[in-house]
Protein backbone atom coordinates (compact mmCIF):
# COMPACT_ATOMS: atom_id res chain seq x y z
CA UNK A 1 0.00 0.00 0.00
CA UNK A 2 1.47 3.40 -0.95
CA UNK A 3 2.26 5.87 1.78
CA UNK A 4 -0.34 8.61 2.22
CA UNK A 5 1.19 12.10 2.59
CA UNK A 6 0.40 13.88 5.85
CA UNK A 7 -1.38 16.71 4.00
CA UNK A 8 -3.99 14.35 2.54
CA UNK A 9 -7.28 14.40 4.45
CA UNK A 10 -9.23 11.88 2.32
CA UNK A 11 -7.06 8.78 2.45
CA UNK A 12 -9.51 6.59 0.52
CA UNK A 13 -9.72 9.03 -2.39
CA UNK A 14 -5.93 9.35 -2.36
CA UNK A 15 -5.44 5.60 -2.71
CA UNK A 16 -8.01 5.47 -5.53
CA UNK A 17 -6.28 8.33 -7.36
CA UNK A 18 -2.84 6.75 -6.93
CA UNK A 19 -4.17 3.45 -8.26
CA UNK A 20 -5.49 5.18 -11.39
CA UNK A 21 -2.38 7.31 -11.72
CA UNK A 22 -0.39 4.08 -12.06
CA UNK A 23 -2.57 3.24 -15.09
CA UNK A 24 -2.10 6.63 -16.76
CA UNK A 25 -1.07 5.07 -20.07
CA UNK A 26 -4.46 3.31 -20.23
CA UNK A 27 -6.45 6.49 -19.56
CA UNK A 28 -7.62 9.05 -22.08
CA UNK A 29 -5.75 12.35 -21.96
CA UNK A 30 -8.75 13.98 -20.26
CA UNK A 31 -8.95 11.20 -17.66
CA UNK A 32 -5.21 11.39 -16.97
CA UNK A 33 -5.40 15.17 -16.56
CA UNK A 34 -8.46 14.83 -14.30
CA UNK A 35 -6.75 12.25 -12.08
CA UNK A 36 -3.62 14.42 -11.87
CA UNK A 37 -5.76 17.40 -10.91
CA UNK A 38 -7.42 15.36 -8.15
CA UNK A 39 -4.02 14.21 -6.91
CA UNK A 40 -2.82 17.80 -6.60
CA UNK A 41 -6.05 18.84 -4.89
CA UNK A 42 -5.78 16.04 -2.35
CA UNK A 43 -2.11 16.82 -1.71
CA UNK A 44 -3.14 20.34 -0.75
CA UNK A 45 -5.48 18.97 1.90
CA UNK A 46 -8.70 19.59 0.02
CA UNK A 47 -11.54 17.11 -0.25
CA UNK A 48 -13.16 16.04 -3.50
CA UNK A 49 -16.54 17.42 -4.44
CA UNK A 50 -19.44 15.03 -4.94
CA UNK A 51 -19.24 15.38 -8.78
CA UNK A 52 -15.48 14.75 -8.68
CA UNK A 53 -15.96 11.66 -6.51
CA UNK A 54 -18.65 10.33 -8.84
CA UNK A 55 -16.49 10.88 -11.93
CA UNK A 56 -13.53 9.23 -10.21
CA UNK A 57 -15.73 6.21 -9.45
CA UNK A 58 -16.85 6.06 -13.10
CA UNK A 59 -13.28 6.13 -14.35
CA UNK A 60 -12.26 3.43 -11.88
CA UNK A 61 -15.19 1.25 -12.94
CA UNK A 62 -14.31 1.69 -16.62
CA UNK A 63 -10.55 1.24 -16.34
CA UNK A 64 -9.84 -1.18 -13.51
CA UNK A 65 -10.27 -4.93 -13.97
DSSP 51: H
Residue 53 above 90 pLDDT? yes
Residue 44 above 70 pLDDT? yes
Of 2-6, 7-11, 28-32, where does mean pLDDT reach its minimum? 2-6
Residue 2 above 80 pLDDT? no
> In the predicted model, what is the mean pLDDT of the chain?
93
Q: What is the pTM of this model?
A: 0.89
Listed by start position, the domains of the chain span 11-63
Range 9-22 average pLDDT: 92
The answer for residues whose C-beta is within 8 angstroms of residue 47's C-beta and 6 or more apart is 9, 10, 13
Amino acid sequence: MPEVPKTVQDRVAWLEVVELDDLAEDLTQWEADFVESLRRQLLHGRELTKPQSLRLAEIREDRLP
